[in-house]
Structure 1
Amino acid sequence: MKKKVLLCLLSFCSLFAWAQRQETLLEKNWKFTKGDAPEAVQETFDDTQWETVTVPHDWAIYGPFDRSHDLQNVAVKQNFETQASVKTGRTGGLPYVGTGWYRTTFEVPAGKEASLVFDGAMSEARVYVNGKEAGFWPLGYNSFHIDVTPYIYTDGRKNTLAVRLENRPQSSRWYPGAGLYRNVRLVTTEKVHVPVWGTQLTTPHVEASYASVKLLTTVAHAGDKDIRIVTEILSPEGKVVAVKDNTRKINHGMPFEQNFLVDAPKLWSPETPFLYKAVSKIYVDNRQVDEYTTRFGIRSLEIVPDKGFFLNGKHRKFQGVCNHHDLGPLGAAVNVAALRRQLTMLKDMGCDAIRTAHNMPAPELVELCDEMGFMMMLEPFDEWDIAKCENGYHRFFGEWAEKDMVNMLRHYRNHPSVVMWSIGNEVPTQWKPEGYKVASFLQDICHREDPTRPVTCGMDQVSSVLGNGFAAMLDVPGFNYRAHRYVEAYNRLPQNIVLGSETSSTVSSRGVYKFPVRKRGDAKYEDHQSSGYDLEHCSWSNVPDEDFALADDYPWTIGQFVWTGFDYLGEPSPYDTDAWPSHSSLFGIIDLASLPKDRYYLYRSIWNRKSPTLHVLPHWNWQGREGENTPVFAYTSYPEAELFVNGKSYGKQRKLTREESQALQGKDSLWLQRRYRLMWMDVPYEPGELKVVAYDASGKAADEKVVRTVGKPHHIELVADRTELAADGKDLAYITVRIVDKDGNLCPMDNRLVHFSVKGAGTYRASANGDPTCLYLFHENRMPAFSGALTAIVQTKEEAGEICFEAKAKGVKGGKLTLRTVRE
């Protein structure tokens, strides 16, 4: 009997908690149509003929690809272009331009307050509830919330939600996505409650023995009532480590302040991403009216002139990448499994930081960076008051910039992964004599809303910003490229630090190699690819070694954010000017199919200090090049290695010191590369076997890598990143599809068409091959291999069981793979 009473009591408590605050994900049973439908705001509108979709949803990723989509006749000033030219594929060649409508219904219990939270809606979102316009938010990347309490029914009727979105032509310079591409939530609360993003938590003092924690809680509709807040601080293990129980009135709209001490705190860092929780219960008249949880990390940040960036008192330099928001073949529709896959690959490379270029991220990305250990630079804008794109954000900047900044800052200021704010990227305003005033306006908003983090801006016009005060007024001067001017900037600026806010822009295609091998800017070829020797870059940028050297040689450089971690849709430089079918970038360290390029291992050899790296390029299949010079590179964490071709030694190479490499300047065009790469530049091609033996610091053989001339393509090899998945209808498996010979060697010249089928507890979601010129649609169950490989993505259903994946292609034996889904 006692057990039954206890169960009933627990059930009652659960219902009571539900009654106080409930967050509901509005994801299923949305209706969607492309094209304008103004009558859709009406509650009685018949949308049964519309498509049924699940949100997040990107309407444009399904194509088709077409040269005519968003042709832009422009001069890209930041790339030093002075004459307009036709840009093809600049926004991915996908049909993102146009209007779309979404409709669904939701219920709100009587007597409750209700808010709708949009994590992102692309773009110019107009939100209607029960036929009335409830809100408008123009920037498609930002999260926003709307109090819809005045518009909802309280008599048990369902509420009708309609959302109109519009993407204008020439509103972006990369693929922005289209639609409700991030999550939508309904939040219902009592009258007195903590509003959306209603807490601010800081750690003013951090040391090994204890840390102070300060929590500010905003309480809506408190009036002159006494408010009691009981807050427990929970450790990463879930134990209560501090408690405060305070009662007071909310004076003058000020937040409710509580301070705590946490003994022997576990500090958050990329290596130790420990997370705490502050669980606050709010009481009015001895009745609990709300419960609000703030997840946070305990850590300290400091920028020291001449010394650099310190996390928890320890000096470190950012080993970061910039990433656009699209997920390759999945488009802009956010998916946690896809984001986790990207971060897992970057973590293995040694990456410890992400710049959200050039807009606000999905909240799921920030949460994963908290959990997995990545520092973040969050960035809101690619343009301010002066246009880059005809229909870009400059149209809204004057009215909306502060609102957008406040939303971003309040949304993410409690996240320990966020260590720096950026207020913009390569904005034309930086050129103006009084451009610093706009920068100061935005930086002041950051300081007001969050005084704990420094502020930077990605600047590319060095002469302008050094001369007009723009760079001098920032907390941290961030430079996009212009590596050759870092020393000058350091000497002229008062901060005595320099951040590489965007670096490299090296271009390469996975498995593609061009001869002769030489360092080149803006190299172009008939096949619209770039060389995997990692020596080609855009006119404004450089190859990775220059940024490695700046980080190594100058203590006042605080690290870099490489452009980019992953290839993305749009911006196919250097093939962006009337160069169709190029429609995705070549900048990525990892390609659009989530397959590493050679450059991945170059960064890994420098950044990953936990496990060794040895990678050899190119492949060794050059029929018709017999006897011709075919350089061999090794990217390795070992100091020295020896090359053998069919058993013949081509000698040892070792990484040079700074002084040794500088002595070669003017004699060897690759003098700097010899600090970070092992290169045998005079190797005549002969079929057979390459072998590189790596030696450790003591001269002992420590590892070896073999690359062989392959035989005839024989079968398809399948390798999944995971074999056990969650049966939640959202989880993904990335399956690498390789065309190999009978011995399992990759056939790097094979580009045959592969067909896929999926049965059981999963569905085929998409595929990609990393070829920036490929026009096969991602969602169709076929894709040609590129350099012998591609990636297929399988998505789970909401049922436990087996997923049977099969790949077939003419002329080779097919492959089969079985995955398992389980309920969590």
Structure 2
Amino acid sequence: MNQRMLVTLCCLLLAWTMAAQQRTETLLEKNWRFTKGDVADAMKPEFDDTKWETVTVPHDWAIYGPFDRNNDLQNVAVTQNLETAASVKTGRTGGLPYVGVGWYRTTFEAPAGKQVSLVFDGAMSEARVYVNGQEACFWPCGYNSFHCDVTPYIYKDGQPNVLAVRLENRPQSSRWYPGAGLYRNVRVVATEAVHVPVWGTQLTTPHVAADYASVCLKTTVEGAGQQDVRIVTEILSPEGQVVAVKDNTMKINHGKPFEQNFLVDKPQLWSPETPYLYKASSKIYVDGRQVDEYVTRFGIRSIKLVADKGFFLNGKHRKFQGVCNHHDLGPLGAAINVAALRRQLTLLKDMGCDAIRTSHNMPAPELVQLCDEMGFMMMLEPFDEWDIAKCENGYHRFFNEWAEKDMVNMLRQYRNNPSVVMWSIGNEVPTQCSPEGYKVASFLQDICHREDPTRPVTCGMDQVSCVLGNGFAAMLDVPGFNYRTHRYVEAYGQLPQNLVLGSETASTVSSRGVYKFPAELKKHAMYDDHQSSGYDLEACSWSNVPDEDFALADDYDWTLGQFVWTGFDYLGEPSPYDTDAWPSHSSVFGIIDLASLPKDRYYLYRSLWNKRDNTLHVLPHWTWPGREGENTPVFVYTSYPEAELFVNGKSYGKQRKLDAKTALSLKEKDALWLQRRYRLMWMDVPYEAGELKVVAYDKDGRPAEEKIVRTAGKPHHLEVVADRMQLTADGKDLAYITVRVVDKDGNLCPADNRLVTFSVKGAGTYRAAANGDATCLDLFHLPRMHAFSGQLTAIVQSGLLEGDLIFEAKAKGLRTGKLILKVAP
């Protein structure tokens, strides 16, 4: 290498180093100190926290339990569930000890002479942030991301800065398990005086077509004063190639963001099927010196609503095949983990789900980023309460002062994400029935339109008579109805939008592997074992089974599709077992249970929603000692139009899905007339042990696939299967291991609920386990769990070093199950 090349290389390295130092982001994960309970003087730098627990953030202090009936007992009437009298609610918030005060402390470095901000992705809740003993900010909403400028409080002599955070969860502040603590990430952002602030860009795609797309980027620059600012922005394709460049100098902007416009030829459009992502990389210069670089990730796509017709993405009509999800990650609690989120989305993707509603709160940024990458449309929703209370200590206490601040943070944080296609301003708020309620809705919708004029706004409404009569529904961009399927046609006829969105649907209840006889449509069915039937025919008093929503989507163009309550079971809200019904403490609404194991209903949705892969699923299991000769209906959820049932070789005939007209003709004589459009059902099948076989036929009547379910013999061994066999050595990656009690031939033993213990050796650790039983009080973090309906899930976590992770599952009387996973960089 000659001297000139060496000098050039050194200059490039120096320039790179200087650029790298202009903006730094540091994740504060390790070496936090934590204590439960209020502590005087804990914000002071000199406070001695050496006796506190050492934790890693994200951290949920309550998920470790213990479960207790007395945790957050609530004597309330749940008005949105049509209750008129107060009653004792048990397990409503999961039976976990989330109520109380918690303190966190750590130290952080801050480069000299920099602007320094702390960014919290979420802190549950009523966060008071102290830096070096001074209160830097207060943010009451536990779900929202927020940031504090802490520059005035930073030590100037370079010594480590002390960060202390006080959090408080009040009793009766939630209707579900909210989590507790610093359950999302915390970052230190250091910049030059002239810089792009947190969430300081807004990117839109005003024109989208096959030949070209226009891109408009607005960049806020702070600290420049009267100085000229030069911004050089490159648009990078999904492959990393520069496809457009603009180099502009801003003289005086009069307080407005700096605007740059680009054309991208032959754009690759973002959709759930093709989640292509571009980047806008902006370098900021003052007096010829680069002072900042800010990267905005985005997608090129168009959204449009057409009255009478529906929702269009990139000019193509489509219906939302969506689910609602709470934020907890089952046995992991509320503490965010990307691998766990990816696992959830992978299961939903295979089901054919293409949309997520964040119910009823602002999401973690990692979820939105994954939806960008994996291809899910999103409806982001900030509030479950406005100015009128649902919970005694709910958000209504802060609404008047904080609602706009919370909305602005959410909108600015996520308005560049292509996955976000709609905003929701609330869920089943009591304000919807107030004569002045429309004014509050208009106030919130206007904030959305001001901060982001590109996306429509909805609200999840459950009081249809109110909102049709008082103008509340008419003033929204999109009227969203929670349940009330029998009112859709009426609403469509009355509302000027001529559109209806199923903002929350179904609330069908079921327990994995549990079946109740006879199999019949029921509302608010309750049983001594506190379980619900897996025949997917039971719903709550206010809700319905899935077939009603399928039919509305199929029969009317003006329905926009649906968001099912819920994709996953979650901690809390154990309806219908929520009224003095301990030990029920988690929901049974989920299509997938708390252990991330699909219920039968998963395959019903998959049979309609997954257009790429065939589905053939049979229920119930076929191990029923003592039911010999008794009627045991058999259901088949399949993408095929027709199937034939055999029991021990004897045919019970063929069933074919009915068209809408034929099904309607059966309405007066068959209670399951609507189900016959979407399910194949043999209602009269006497049980006999042996082999249950279903042969599916394609549209031409040819045998296409078969499924066999056999009666299980004596439990013999534990079968262990991981969702992935290699983990990343980052100390965060997870594998979900399904543990099944099976007979010698590998048939599931569906009645076996014995205790299973786990051990993990080598390059990882045991993290948690769950079984999907809403009444089980086994603690998630202990290395043991009872099986439920013959199955459970254990979660293991990678370490920081390469090697083998060895997992073993043991149970008395059974052969051990063993698995070896690879952990690699």
Asked if TM exceeds 0.5, the reply is: yes
Query: In structure 1, what residue type is equivalent to 2:273?
Result: E
Query: In structure 2, what residue type is equivalent to 1:570?
Result: G
Structure 2 CA distance, aligned partners of 1:229 and 1:469?
46
Structure 2 CA distance, aligned partners of 1:250 and 1:768?
59
Following TM superposition, by how much is the alpha carbon of 1:38 offset from its aligned partner in structure 2, in angstroms? 2.8
The equivalent residue for 2:368 is 366
The equivalent residue for 2:178 is 176
1:278 touches 1:293 (CA, 8 Å); kept in 2? yes
Aligned counterpart for 2:201 among listed residues 199, 202, 213:
199
Q: Which runs of 4+ in 1 moved over 2 A?
A: 1-11
TM-score by length of structure 1 reads 0.99
1:222 touches 1:250 (CA, 8 Å); kept in 2? no
Query: In structure 2, what residue type is equivalent to 1:386?
Result: I
Query: In structure 2, what residue type is equivalent to 1:41?
Result: M
Q: Deviations over 1:666-687 (max 9, x none)?
A: 1000000000000000000010
Aligned counterpart for 2:738 among listed residues 732, 736, 739:
736
Evaluate the alpha carbon distance shift between residue 748 and residue 7 of structure 1 in structure 2; reply closer, same or farther with a 3 A threshold.
farther
The equivalent residue for 1:422 is 424
Following TM superposition, by how much is the alpha carbon of 1:138 offset from its aligned partner in structure 2, in angstroms? 0.1
1:109 touches 1:154 (CA, 8 Å); kept in 2? no
Q: Kindly report which structure 2 residues correspond to 1:554-565, keeping only aligned pairs within 5 A, or say none.
A: 554-565=556-567
The equivalent residue for 1:515 is 517
Following TM superposition, by how much is the alpha carbon of 1:178 offset from its aligned partner in structure 2, in angstroms? 0.1
The equivalent residue for 2:571 is 569
The equivalent residue for 2:63 is 61
The equivalent residue for 2:24 is 22
The equivalent residue for 2:263 is 261
Q: Deviations over 1:383-432 (max 9, x none)?
A: 00000000000000000000000000000000000000000000000011
Query: In structure 2, what residue type is equivalent to 1:132?
Result: Q
Structure 2 CA distance, aligned partners of 1:312 and 1:461?
33
Aligned counterpart for 1:234 among listed residues 233, 236, 239:
236
Aligned counterpart for 1:812 among listed residues 806, 811, 814:
814
Residues 1:663 and 2:665 are matched in the alignment = yes
Aligned counterpart for 2:492 among listed residues 490, 494, 497:
490
Aligned counterpart for 1:41 among listed residues 40, 43, 51:
43
Aligned counterpart for 1:540 among listed residues 539, 542, 545:
542
Q: Kindly report which structure 2 residues correspond to 1:415-814, keeping only aligned pairs within 5 A, or say none.
A: 415-814=417-816
Query: In structure 2, what residue type is equivalent to 1:82?
Result: T
Q: Deviations over 1:332-381 (max 9, x none)?
A: 00000000000000000000000000000000000000000000000000
Q: Kindly report which structure 2 residues correspond to 1:121-200, keeping only aligned pairs within 5 A, or say none.
A: 121-200=123-202
Aligned counterpart for 2:319 among listed residues 317, 341, 345:
317
Query: In structure 2, what residue type is equivalent to 1:207?
Result: A
Residues 1:342 and 2:347 are matched in the alignment = no
Query: In structure 2, what residue type is equivalent to 1:802?
Result: D
The equivalent residue for 1:330 is 332
Following TM superposition, by how much is the alpha carbon of 1:319 offset from its aligned partner in structure 2, in angstroms? 0.1
The equivalent residue for 2:111 is 109
Structure 1 gaps of 5+ residues are: none
The equivalent residue for 1:272 is 274
1:165 is paired with a residue of what secondary structure?
strand
1:326 touches 1:569 (CA, 8 Å); kept in 2? yes
Following TM superposition, by how much is the alpha carbon of 1:153 offset from its aligned partner in structure 2, in angstroms? 1.2
1:652 is paired with a residue of what secondary structure?
strand
1:128 touches 1:161 (CA, 8 Å); kept in 2? yes
Following TM superposition, by how much is the alpha carbon of 1:109 offset from its aligned partner in structure 2, in angstroms? 1.1
The equivalent residue for 2:247 is 245
Structure 1 CA distance, aligned partners of 2:11 and 2:482?
60
Following TM superposition, by how much is the alpha carbon of 1:471 offset from its aligned partner in structure 2, in angstroms? 0.1
Structure 1 CA distance, aligned partners of 2:129 and 2:13?
36
Structure 2 CA distance, aligned partners of 1:13 and 1:613?
56
Structure 1 CA distance, aligned partners of 2:111 and 2:366?
28
Query: In structure 1, what residue type is equivalent to 2:407?
Result: M
Q: Deviations over 1:506-560 (max 9, x none)?
A: 0000000000110000000000000000000000000000000000000000100
The equivalent residue for 1:388 is 390
Following TM superposition, by how much is the alpha carbon of 1:252 offset from its aligned partner in structure 2, in angstroms? 1.8
Following TM superposition, by how much is the alpha carbon of 1:7 offset from its aligned partner in structure 2, in angstroms? 5.0
Structure 1 CA distance, aligned partners of 2:13 and 2:56?
31
Structure 1 CA distance, aligned partners of 2:798 and 2:606?
32
Structure 1 CA distance, aligned partners of 2:84 and 2:11?
73
1:730 is paired with a residue of what secondary structure?
coil
1:224 touches 1:250 (CA, 8 Å); kept in 2? yes
Structure 2 CA distance, aligned partners of 1:375 and 1:718?
34
Residues 1:290 and 2:292 are matched in the alignment = yes
2:41 is paired with a residue of what secondary structure?
helix
The equivalent residue for 1:822 is 824
Greater shift in the superposed pair: 37-46 or 286-295: 37-46
1:790 is paired with a residue of what secondary structure?
strand
Structure 2 CA distance, aligned partners of 1:185 and 1:11?
26
Query: In structure 1, what residue type is equivalent to 2:74?
Result: Q
Structure 2 CA distance, aligned partners of 1:33 and 1:18?
36
1:641 is paired with a residue of what secondary structure?
strand
Query: In structure 2, what residue type is equivalent to 1:76?
Result: V
Structure 2 CA distance, aligned partners of 1:242 and 1:740?
59
1:807 touches 1:815 (CA, 8 Å); kept in 2? yes
Following TM superposition, by how much is the alpha carbon of 1:10 offset from its aligned partner in structure 2, in angstroms? 4.1
Following TM superposition, by how much is the alpha carbon of 1:249 offset from its aligned partner in structure 2, in angstroms? 2.1
Q: Deviations over 1:616-675 (max 9, x none)?
A: 000011111111100000000000000000000000000000000000001000000000
Q: Deviations over 1:430-456 (max 9, x none)?
A: 011110000000000000000000000
1:645 touches 1:690 (CA, 8 Å); kept in 2? yes
The equivalent residue for 1:211 is 213
Count matched residues.
823
1:93 touches 1:570 (CA, 8 Å); kept in 2? yes
Structure 2 CA distance, aligned partners of 1:26 and 1:71?
35
Following TM superposition, by how much is the alpha carbon of 1:155 offset from its aligned partner in structure 2, in angstroms? 1.5
Following TM superposition, by how much is the alpha carbon of 1:11 offset from its aligned partner in structure 2, in angstroms? 3.4
Query: In structure 2, what residue type is equivalent to 1:563?
Result: W
Q: Deviations over 1:578-601 (max 9, x none)?
A: 000000000000000000000000
2:393 is paired with a residue of what secondary structure?
coil
Following TM superposition, by how much is the alpha carbon of 1:17 offset from its aligned partner in structure 2, in angstroms? 1.6
Structure 2 CA distance, aligned partners of 1:93 and 1:410?
35
Query: In structure 2, what residue type is equivalent to 1:8?
Result: C
Following TM superposition, by how much is the alpha carbon of 1:250 offset from its aligned partner in structure 2, in angstroms? 3.8
1:200 is paired with a residue of what secondary structure?
strand
Structure 2 CA distance, aligned partners of 1:185 and 1:128?
15
Structure 2 gaps of 5+ residues are: none
Following TM superposition, by how much is the alpha carbon of 1:251 offset from its aligned partner in structure 2, in angstroms? 2.0
Q: Deviations over 1:270-329 (max 9, x none)?
A: 000000000000000000000000000000000000000000000000000000000000
Following TM superposition, by how much is the alpha carbon of 1:4 offset from its aligned partner in structure 2, in angstroms? 5.2
Query: In structure 1, what residue type is equivalent to 2:374?
Result: M
Structure 1 CA distance, aligned partners of 2:116 and 2:802?
35
